[in-house]
Each structure stands twice: as structure tokens, then as C-alpha cells.
Chain A
Amino acid sequence: MVSLFVISVLAGNIPLAFAIEEEPIVATSAEIQTLKTCTSLDSKKIRILREGSKCHLYTEAMAIWRNSPTLEDLTSKFPATTLQTCAGKSPAIRSYILIRDDCKKFHDATTWHRWLKSPSAPEIESVEALNETTALITLKPMAEIPDAPITFFTVTTHPDEVSTRGMPTAINQYYVTGLNEQKTYTFTISATNADGKSSESLESKAITTPAIPQLIPAGPGLLSLITASVLLFLFFAYRRFSSALV
């Protein structure tokens, strides 16, 4: 039954999402002002985010929808998109809200709105080598996209061309690990949200990781063993010599 529900998200007549197979979700309130959804980055399927839960890390992106278009929505230069949900009229099924394009007679239809906006390219403020395997990238603060927050950043390490995904710390710092010692690196970074991926940032300045420090074992070395052996030899030789004198 649920598998029959089909989402139709229209943005300039371009369908953004496809059929979903999702069990009915319990809505948190009879009058939902905003709706959070998770969009699969691979299949573009959308599911409603349950209260208190999160989208799957690095494979889904969150989007926040409003149940009526604001003046900003209507006048914005950014393309907008809509999503229709159906909720049961009957008190018994009132708590269920489902994504579909055509509601039944016993459903209340709600149209949700949000802007479509991919993140702008991040800007790297500074980069430094923290140790032989880790670099710290500091980003310039990015303009917030309230309807589709940034899901993750993708940092590409050059010349290895290794990409890693993650979120920066609260102060826009991003740690890149797994580097090699005494090697020069540059980095580019891009941001991804529910509406797509930004273009790559400009390449950072080059950094060179330091050499792995040489560690001296602080345990007894060969000289210690030689010292102990010589002392033992002297000890027993002295005892033998002394007893021979008697």
C-alpha cells in the first residue's frame, strides 16, 4: 500500500525525486509548520525525518520545508521546489503523514516549499601542517542555507587526489589525516547539501609535513648488557681470586 505513494517535486518542471517506499511516519504535531526530510544522495529518494533522528551520515542530506510560501519564497531569485504530503483526516490516522502527489478523499493535502540552492564554493582561509600525518584547514565562514544545510565537506588532497568527507568543527576548522611525512600537499574543498555539490574551492597554499621524529628507546641497550656482564665476570673472578689466596 505504502509503495504506491509517489512523490512529485517540481522545480521548473524538473522532477527531483522519485518513488519512495517508506513506512508511514508519525508526525509530531497536527499542524506542522516545518518539515524535515532526508534526500538520498545516490537515488534522490526522499523520506520524512522522524523527530529526534538524523539523516544517514554522508549518504543523505537534510532539507527543511515550510508549509506555506513566504514573501521571500515568491520574490527570491533562487528556484523553489515543492513537496506534497497527505495526512489522514480521521483522528485515528491523523498522526500519519506521507509523501505523495495525489491524496485520497480522506486525506488532507499539504504543499511544502523551500528554495533550491547548492552551496557556494568554500573559501580556505589558512592551512597548516600540525604533524607528520595531519593538516588543519581553516575555512572562511560560509553563508547559511536555511532550507538545505551543508551535509558534509569533501576535501581533496593533491597530489595524491585522495578525497575525504567530513564536517568541520564549530570554528570552521577541518582536520585532514592520513598524510605522509615530508611531503608537500595542497588541498581543495567542496560542500554538499540536499541540492547538490558546490564547485571546488581555490587550491590552498602548499604545506610540507614534517619528518616523523626519531625515537630513542629508553630501555637498557647493548652497553648496559656489556656493563652487567663485565661486572658479573669481575664479581666471580674476584671471589675466585680471593678464595684462592686464602
Chain B
Amino acid sequence: MLDIATRLLLVAPLIFLTHAFSWSLLRDWTTTLIIQGDALIGTHLVRLSPTSFSIRDLNFQVVVACTSIDALIGSLPLLYDRRKSLLKFFGFFLVYSIIVQFINLSRLVLGFFAFDHGVSWKIAHEIPSGVFLFIWFVWLLWYRGWVSLRLQAVKHRKEI
């Protein structure tokens, strides 16, 4: 329990630390991929700067949180497994980051697609972001074995 609490306590400082940097290149790439992704599904975003674009007469800025880098780095203490070697953990983290980035970008692309088609910003972007963060967090808990997703397991534990 103490181990989990320590790990959870490290999450917030790491997220704050991530926001101390501008991550300009990553934001630039994310902007490019959002624009390219939306172009693939027929939504035209007008790029204003390396990290901003315009859609429906509104200008959006791709900030650090859009790239999910803050949540990725914040999840490091939750993910780190001392039984694995550093190299193995690094390899796992790389694959994990790519998958998270792919899901995050897909969410952003679909969000802007929906927004362009008249869906409100809250429904197209804000609520899906919350759902994404929720699923991500639950997955982290499940991956570390701190929570089971099967109800049977809970029942079983109660019986014990």
C-alpha cells in the first residue's frame, strides 16, 4: 500500500515538471499529424503556426497536454517495475508511448472531425478526453495488478 501511495505521490510533480518545458517539436509534430489525420477523413484544418490551426473560424493551440506527454511521464512511477531490467522497461515504455500517442492522436483527429461537423466542443473533445484519461488510468491500475477488471475476482476475494 505504501508503495502504491509513494508512486501516486510522484505523479503530480512529474506532470508539473513536464509542463516546465515547451515541447515545441512534439507539439509541432502533433499539430502536423492532427492536420494530416483530419485531411485523410475530409476535414480541412488551416495551419496558422507550427502549433496552432484554425477550424470553424476558431483558432486552436496545441498545448503540452494535447500531446499526452505530461500523462505519459506522469505514468512512469506507476508503470515502473523493479523486477524488470532498465533496458526491458525502456523498451516496454517505448511501445507503450507509441500506442498511447496513436490513441491520443486518433481521439484528437476524430474530435476535430466531429467538431467540424457541428458537434459541440464539450462533446467532441472535452468529454472524450475525460473518458480517455479514465480508461488510461484504469488500465494502469489493472496492468500493475492493483485492480481487477473482472467482477468474479472481486467476489472470489470476498469469499477468501
Contacts and interface: CB of A to CB of B under 8 A. Distances in A.
Nearest to B133: A228
Contacts of B121: 216
A220 B126 contact: yes
Given A242-B151, A243-B155, A246-B155, A218 B127 contact: no
A216 B59 contact: yes
Contacts of A221: 126, 129
B62 interface: yes
A152 B72 CA distance: 52
Secondary structure of the A contact surface, majority rule: helix
Interface residues of A, number: 23
Contacts of B157: 243
Contact of A214 (B59, B64, B66, B158): B59
A95 B125 CA distance: 75
B116 to A, nearest CB: 13
Contacts of B60: 215-218
Contacts of A226: 130
A220 B128 CA distance: 9
Contact of B134 (A213, A232, A239, A246): A232
Contact of A227 (B52, B62, B131): B131
Contacts of B130: 220, 223-228, 230-231
B144 interface: no
Interface of A: 213-221, 223-228, 230-232, 235, 239, 242-243, 246
30 contacts: A213-B54, A214-B59, A215-B61, A216-B60, A216-B61, A217-B66, A218-B61, A218-B62, A218-B63, A218-B66, A218-B125, A219-B65, A219-B66, A220-B126, A220-B130, A223-B130, A224-B126, A224-B127, A226-B130, A227-B129, A227-B130, A228-B129, A228-B134, A231-B131, A231-B134, A235-B134, A239-B151, A243-B157, A246-B154, A246-B155
